[in-house]
Amino acid sequence: MSDGSDLARGERHMRVVQLGVGSVGEVIARTLAAEPDVTEVVLADVDEGRVQEVAAKLPGGKASPRRLDARDPEALRETLRGAQLAVNALVPAFNIPVMEACLEVGVSYLDLAAGGPREIVGTPDMDEQFALDGAFRERGISALLFCGIDPGASDVFARALYDEMDTVERLIVYDGDNGWAEGYEFATSFSPAIMIEESLLLPPERFEDGRFLLSEPLTLSTEFDFPEPVGRLRVWHIDHEEPALMARFLADKGLRLATFYIALPDPWVELLRSWKRLGFAHKDEIEFAGCRFRPFDLLVSRLPRPVDLIGKLHGSVCVGTLAEGTVDGQRVRRFMYQVTSHDEAFARMGVQGTGLQTGIPAACGALMVLRGELPGPGVFAPEQLDPGTFLRLMTEHGAPWS
Amino acid sequence: MSDGSDLARGERHMRVVQLGVGSVGEVIARTLAAEPDVTEVVLADVDEGRVQEVAAKLPGGKASPRRLDARDPEALRETLRGAQLAVNALVPAFNIPVMEACLEVGVSYLDLAAGGPREIVGTPDMDEQFALDGAFRERGISALLFCGIDPGASDVFARALYDEMDTVERLIVYDGDNGWAEGYEFATSFSPAIMIEESLLLPPERFEDGRFLLSEPLTLSTEFDFPEPVGRLRVWHIDHEEPALMARFLADKGLRLATFYIALPDPWVELLRSWKRLGFAHKDEIEFAGCRFRPFDLLVSRLPRPVDLIGKLHGSVCVGTLAEGTVDGQRVRRFMYQVTSHDEAFARMGVQGTGLQTGIPAACGALMVLRGELPGPGVFAPEQLDPGTFLRLMTEHGAPWS
């Protein structure tokens, strides 16, 4: 990697490959393309129409639209060749294949979320990604994993709070959306398939007193007072990346609890609990009426996709991390968070709040990779970033935090 | 019809055809076969093994097992020929075909529940059945409609309360089951298909201030204190026969409200509301994964059948009618009800509570038809029975009321 001073002067060609140009991919691509030191953004997606649509929104000359089926390893390598960074906004099933392609062609890597566990959802989990650390070091390139809003900014918040406190016993991420969608009974603000996996299929994991504990999906809930305008919402413990990441990187000041809660609307909880009671909490096929299908796919087919909700979602989403511990012997309880309004996100980039709120931190992480602001080559979590730099970039790019 | 005195002396052959020998059919058949004046009970069902199983439980010589596919009109007529009464414990889709067969061969008729409305569930409604009144009169035979526990005993309770009060402004039927089933998340105590129709597909109808009003399914609920051991339960306004029947026959003392509420467990309400939110609140086919099927059938296939729950259901079920009005100028509020324990029902007849609680009143109604204790030939509702006779029979046959 060249250092930041070179880049800032625009002395070399800086090409980023944006893999996947859904809502989040679009926000990342547009945010990066607006940076003077980013000279080219390759927009790669299986949907060529969508690629052209996003390309038209990038500053003149910076977009390189490209149809790519990421399941084709050779096409993937070909797309990455000559770039400095691959931003993976595909589903987590592609994390390992894209990391491997990056290693082969020598391109740094960033993604947004972990998959797995392999035995339940069939996709690689975070350990498989961290296991590539040695290979990335040897190749002299970097990978920044799980760097959206949550995981991502939530982990940086945890790190920032960790740094300013003497002891940190509890780290709890809260994700709360008070939004509602015109004309839809259910509105998941990101992929319904991922949402079903996270909240129904996976037993949520938390770190408690030195051990990782699993619980039954949709059994642990409480209420949490999010900052206005979000307000008080019922939140549910679901499976997420942060407990494992915070326990891995932020346990040295007496951490006793690391967990994750998300606000789920009652109809969604009722739906998933009912689906489970029908015996459908799995991704297997069933036989019915002379045909075979996955109830999982049937359910997904009945839910709106995020793209269906664009412009129809109102309200705001808050993601934050609560740290409890001590400073100078005094007990403290600090909540660091980011709030995005769905309506403002739509006005600003034509996306809903979660798309903007996820894409901006990803772009900030991408800039840190591009500018050589990671600790070095290797595979990193957001907890390992310099929180000051990351948080400053978030504010500069319109995702202010408190 | 011969009169009761003949029958009581057993001076003629008295044959009843029991159509359908599920739980309720079995209770009716066994109760009738225990009567000295009933000399033969034809057990007719499409499931020959089940017919033999029930036949073995009837007093020696009284059971005539017969495999019958009731969709075959000639076989149906052949089965009915020579009987005094057909007790229809099939699904309501058979009500009109069986009534027509009864008219052709001159056999009286009793059933347990109405179908319809035709435009929503595709089965004949009660008006189509009452429209056969003239034909039954001409033929000199009787039909007693909707004579289980509810509708049935609930309507007789309403009539009894109506008779003892000077004004009756409100008649509300409450059906409450505090039962739970070992090993099952959902337990409908009767046909899950009927339960889905009643509580999800049909907009419930109530009689209010001279008009019939419809509401959205699963939107009106309240709590009701059932007598012990059932206790307080959340009850929901669903579609049922009684509001129309009570408005038709018991409106002359100032009736302003006739309605029906049933206790539904939260998981069942959550399931049906979720099913509706998925766009599945209908009986149409959908196309999915290259095949066509009815989501209705998929849902039914995942629910336990009543027969699956036999011996596994614990708790009690209470069905009663609340009448509000005046006696001698004083406001009164009277609740007449019947309570059956699932465990006692299992001990007594090997069925669950609702099977026993439905079958006994049906058998009582059947005895009144057989003994010429209806007002005459024609088609009748339970409201038109002499409540004293019916209630005495209920107590005598082990379904005491309070």
Mapped to the 3 state alphabet, what secondary structure does A259-324 carry? EEEEECCHHHHHHHHHHHHCCCCCCCCEEECCEEECHHHHHHHCCCCHHHHCCCEECEEEEEEEEE
- Mean pLDDT, residues B382-398: 98
Strand intervals (E) in A165-278: 167-177, 180-181, 205-208, 211-214, 221-225, 232-237, 257-263
The whole-number pLDDT of residue A11 equals 54
Angle between helices B353-370 and B23-33 (to 10 degrees): 40
* Other Cβ atoms closer than 10 A to A282: 14
ipTM exceeding the 0.85 mark: no
Q: Which of A199, A264, A278 to mutate to test the interface with B (most CBs of B within 10 A)?
A: A278
Strand intervals (E) in B294-358: 313-314, 316-327, 330-341
Please list every residue in chain B whose beta carbon sits closer than 8 Å to the beta carbon of residue A279: 302
Q: How far apart, in whole angstroms, are the C-alpha atoms of residue B96 and residue B113?
A: 12
Whether the CB-CB separation of B316 and B179 falls below 8 Å is answered with: yes
**Residue found by looking up tokens 């229809």 in the block:** B88
- Residue A298 touches chain B, beta carbons under 8 Å: yes
Query: If you compute the radius of gyration of chain B from its CA atoms, what whole number of angstroms results?
Result: 20
* Other Cβ atoms closer than 10 A to A236: 20
pLDDT, tens digit, 9 for 90 and up, residues B299-318: 999 998 877 888 899 999 99
Residue B261 β-bridge partners: B174, B237
From the list A267, A279, A297, the residue facing B289 with the nearest CB is A297
Q: Is the pLDDT of residue A3 over 60?
A: no
- Mean pLDDT, residues A192-209: 92
Task: Tell me the domains of chain B and their CATH numbers.
Answer: 4-149+355-396 (3.40.50.720), 153-353 (3.30.360.10)
The whole-number pLDDT of residue B11 equals 55
Band of residue A116 on the pLDDT scale cut at 50, 70, 90: confident
- Residue A271 touches chain B, beta carbons under 8 Å: yes
Residue A326 β-bridge partners: A167, A331
Mean residue pLDDT of chain A comes to 93
CA end-to-end span of chain B, whole Å?
32
Between residues B97 and A186, which one has the greater pLDDT? B97
Distance from CA of B178 to the nearest CA of A (A): 19
DSSP for A88-141, please give it.
E-S-GGGHHHHHHHHHHHT-EEEES-----HHHHSS--HHHHHTTHHHHHHHT-
* Other Cβ atoms closer than 10 A to A308: 13
Please list every residue in chain B whose beta carbon sits closer than 8 Å to the beta carbon of residue A302: 278-280
Distance from CA of B217 to the nearest CA of A (A): 16
Tokens found for residue A391: 């948080």
Band of residue A62 on the pLDDT scale cut at 50, 70, 90: very high
Distance from CA of A182 to the nearest CA of B (A): 14
Distance from CA of A212 to the nearest CA of B (A): 29
- A5-9, B57-61, B73-77, B173-177 — which is least confidently predicted? A5-9
pLDDT, tens digit, 9 for 90 and up, residues A80-105: 999 999 999 999 999 999 999 999 99
Q: Is the pLDDT of residue B352 over 50?
A: yes
Q: Is the pLDDT of residue A197 over 80?
A: yes
**Residue found by looking up tokens 């009756």 in the block:** B168
The three-point CA angle B115-B170-B145 to 5° equals: 25
Distance from CA of A220 to the nearest CA of B (A): 17
Question: Closest chain A residue to B186 measured between Cα atoms?
Answer: A277
Question: Closest chain B residue to A301 measured between Cα atoms?
Answer: B288
Please list every residue in chain A whose beta carbon sits closer than 8 Å to the beta carbon of residue B280: 302
- CB spacing of A293 vs B288 below 8 angstroms: yes
Ranges of H-type helices in B140-262: 153-164, 192-196, 242-249
Mean residue pLDDT of chain B comes to 93
- Mean pLDDT, residues A136-160: 98
Q: Is the pLDDT of residue A8 over 50?
A: no
Question: Closest chain A residue to B289 measured between Cα atoms?
Answer: A293
* Other Cβ atoms closer than 10 A to B372: 17
- CB spacing of B293 vs A298 below 8 angstroms: no
- Mean pLDDT, residues B321-341: 98
Query: Counting Cβ atoms within 10 Å, is residue B100 exposed (0-12), middle (13-18) or buried (19+)?
Result: middle
